[in-house]
Amino acid sequence: MNAMWLAEPSQWLKSGLRIGAGLTIGSLAYSRVRHHLVYRRLLHGHCPCDWSATACSKVYVHRPEEESAVARIIRPAKDSPGSAMFFYIVGSSGCGKSTCVQWVCNQERSGCIYVTAHRKSNDFAGRLQDALLMLDNLPNPVRLIYDVALRIGHESAVEDAASSKLVACCQALKEAAEGYRRKCGRPAVLIIDSAELLAGQPALEELLEASRGWADQGLVRLVLVTSEDSFVKRLLDNTRCSVSGSHEVEDLNSGQALAFLQRRGLDGKACHELVNHAGGRCIELVAAVESLHNGQSMEDVKQLILSAAERLYQEAGLLDDTIHRKAGLRVVDALLRSPDRTVDFATWNRLVPNPKDKEALLSSNVFSMQHKHRRIGFDSRSVERYAQLHLKDVALSDAHCDCCA
């Protein structure tokens, strides 16, 4: 009996050693397969968008200057040295920046990983995992045990699991980028669209922390694509963040907008009427053309454009009694008085002295920061047109009252 009891620990030890050896071999095999898949993904690139000739002709307007500027950011030169933590591409919502980035990414392909951000860290980590072809459904045996223990031992298990998943993605990308740089002589590029959705999330801090190491070694270039000026400003105000390059995607100019509308079958008069109300904002032009093709009149379409602009003013709090209404209307008045419909930063700071008001107004889609020219202007032609038609007297009266006070 005693001999049997003494023999049992030996059997337990052998069983434990076999399990440990199996887990180790499984973990090594998993790591090798994962590295191979991520490396192949880098070689072929990833941009999950349909760019058939038909789709392009409907939604995309070629802008060689914009495409060249974006290409310089997401197409690093060979033997590029280490650089700053991140690059950014900014532009108003609906101006066509994401479409332009996707187009250039599809032209380049190799070395580019394109992923759209998400408000939830776990969902974003999952998207990045899918983009990298990580084996999420075939977890590392050692990592599986760790994740189970994590869920048992922590209340914040979901966030911890998301963090663990994101860290694994960053490490896998770094390892694959080392091989990619040896083969191709340049860094890989990770493009995160709608990056403002990551604001305030641990995922953003982890990405920026990883990008420091990537930048120092010249392995991965992090490119953030965003429509929120306040998000860019917060990143740039962070002394720990350094930016190496940026580009601001603007609306179509009048010639490009007219050419796009003519290609969609509109006559000259209709084209000029639409450009007068919507300017060169791609998303508004596409919606207007679809409405006209569906049988709506030009007057109805123009009213829809102005109604959408009115909703933006309401969401910004400029049509109600909000704390930043007066500051916002002072800016509207100054912009309407300006020949080029913009004001410089000094005027902006004088008109909106409160930092919270600045952030609230820039977070709306009424005003936007023109980084290239260092000025503030209306976010779109439709917003400007609404102010001309409906807010000119209100803004002037409010500004006059402030001066009298």
pLDDT of residue 401 exceeding 60, the answer is no
Q: Are residues 311 and 235 in the same domain?
A: no
C-alpha torsion sign, points 22, 28, 32, 37 = positive
pTM confidence score: 0.80
**Average pLDDT of every residue of the chain:** 81
Encode pLDDT of 102-129 as tens digits.
999 988 889 999 999 988 767 888 899 8
How confident is residue 245, by pLDDT bands cut at 50, 70 and 90? confident
Query: Does residue 221 sit in helix, strand or coil?
Result: strand
Query: Does residue 265 sit in helix, strand or coil?
Result: coil
For residue 372, is it within any domain?
yes
Bridge partners for 343 per DSSP = 376
Q: Are residues 342 and 235 in the same domain?
A: no
Bridge partners for 247 per DSSP = 89
pLDDT at 208: 87
**Domain range holding 316?**
297-404
pLDDT of residue 404 exceeding 70, the answer is no
For residue 289, is it within any domain?
no
How confident is residue 349, by pLDDT bands cut at 50, 70 and 90? very high
Q: Are residues 66 and 181 in the same domain?
A: yes
Residue 199: which CATH number?
Answer: 3.40.50.300
C-alpha torsion sign, points 358, 316, 290, 115 = positive
State the first-to-last Cα distance of the chain, in angstroms, to the nearest integer.
Answer: 100
Alpha-carbon distance 380 to 383, whole Å?
5
pLDDT of residue 292 exceeding 90, the answer is yes
For residue 99, is it within any domain?
yes
For residue 4, is it within any domain?
no
Strand order in the sheet with 342-344: 342-344, 375-378, 367-370
Q: Are residues 186 and 309 in the same domain?
A: no
Structure tokens that stand for 15 in this block: 């069983």
Taking every pair of C-alpha atoms in the chain, what is the biggest distance, in angstroms?
103
Q: Are residues 56 and 169 in the same domain?
A: yes
Cβ atoms within 10 Å, residue 398: 19
Of 228, 248, 268, the last residue of a domain is: 248
φ and ψ at residue 193, rounded to 5 degrees: -85, 155
Half-sphere exposure of 314 (CA within 13 A, CB side): 6
For residue 279, is it within any domain?
no
For residue 204, is it within any domain?
yes
pLDDT at 231: 83
For residue 29, is it within any domain?
no
How confident is residue 354, by pLDDT bands cut at 50, 70 and 90? very high
Q: Are residues 47 and 136 in the same domain?
A: yes
Bridge partners for 222 per DSSP = 86, 190
For residue 53, is it within any domain?
yes
The secondary structure of residue 201, as a DSSP letter, is S
Q: Are residues 241 and 147 in the same domain?
A: yes
Of 219, 248, 277, the last residue of a domain is: 248
Report the amino acid identity of residue 108: E
In the chain, how many domains are there? 2
H and E: helices and strands count for the chain: 18, 8
Q: Are residues 320 and 379 in the same domain?
A: yes
